[in-house]
């Protein structure tokens, strides 16, 4: 089974449509959370997700804040402004959809979590100590996570030894053979990359071949920024950062 694994769209419809077109036909879609927040098209993004066949969707921390399942005080002031605007414009159907989501789910041998196996909603899994703690909580062979907006993998080499794997430029589009040991993988962000690369990020998981393939695809950032500027309530820096991937 080929699965499109993607995360952190943040109401960037232009990036999402580019990713879906680039990935092509797949057997299923696993979305790891944060459909909304920061960006100008929360309703269009949620409606696109809801229309995808065989799509598993998780609740991200921004999604949770929009439906009052996480306090706005968790976020910086600019992010709070974007979330307050999103709350105001979200349709009843899309609000109900978000209210029905959870920040984690198990799909066969894979734990899906927005944040981490230890804290599915809020933890950024970016340190060796945090990775070790998450491996102790991980019952499945693999976990797919989002939240940090950075493509990476943590591989458990021994009970207390972990290895960080970051894809290099030449690694995108090349299958990564999943190790026989527990592994936590992050596809990066569709709509708000934060690794210095402005291209949209996603991954394809092949459960038959036992591979994970990171992908990057350029999208029309000018068009995405123009849509930001149509919403005066959104802080301009959320648009400008798209060019920097930060």
Identify the structural domains of the chain with CATH numbers, from first to last: 2-244 (3.60.21.10)
pLDDT tens across 168-222, in order?
A: 999 999 999 999 999 999 999 999 999 999 999 999 999 999 999 999 999 999 9
pTM attached to this predicted model: 0.97
Distance CA 168, CA 191 (A): 20
Q: What is the band of 159 on the pLDDT scale with cuts at 50, 70, 90?
A: confident
Q: How large is the angle between the packed helices 237-244 and 77-89, nearest 10 degrees?
A: 110
| pLDDT recorded at residue 103 | 98
Distance CA 220, CA 224 (A): 7
Tell how many helices (H) and how many strands (E) occur in the chain.
8, 12
């Amino acid at each position: 089974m080929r699965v499109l694994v993607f995360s952190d769209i943040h109401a960037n419809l232009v990036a999402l449509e580019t990713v879906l077109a680039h990935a092509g036909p797949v057997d299923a879609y696993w979305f790891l959370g944060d459909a909304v927040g920061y960006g100008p098209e929360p309703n269009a993004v949620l409606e696109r997700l809801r229309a995808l066949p065989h799509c598993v969707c998780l609740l991200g921390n921004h999604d949770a804040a929009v439906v009052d399942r996480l306090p706005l005080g968790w976020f910086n002031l600019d992010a709070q402004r974007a979330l307050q605007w999103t709350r105001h414009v979200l349709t009843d159907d899309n609000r109900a959809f978000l209210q029905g989501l959870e920040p984690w789910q198990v799909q066969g041998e894979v734990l899906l979590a927005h944040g981490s196996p230890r804290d599915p909603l809020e933890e950024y899994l970016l340190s060796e100590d945090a990775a070790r703690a998450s491996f102790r909580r991980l019952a499945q062979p693999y976990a797919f996570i989002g939240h940090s907006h950075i493509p990476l993998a943590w591989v458990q080499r021994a009970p207390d030894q972990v290895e960080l794997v970051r894809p290099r430029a030449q690694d995108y589009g090349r299958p990564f053979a999943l190790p026989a040991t527990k592994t936590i993988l992050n596809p990066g962000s569709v709509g708000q990359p934060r690794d210095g690369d402005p291209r949209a990020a996603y991954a394809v998981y092949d459960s038959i071949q036992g591979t994970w393939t990171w992908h990057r695809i350029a999208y029309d950032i000018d068009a995405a920024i123009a849509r930001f500027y149509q919403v005066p309530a959104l802080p301009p820096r959320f648009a400008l950062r798209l060019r920097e991937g930060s």
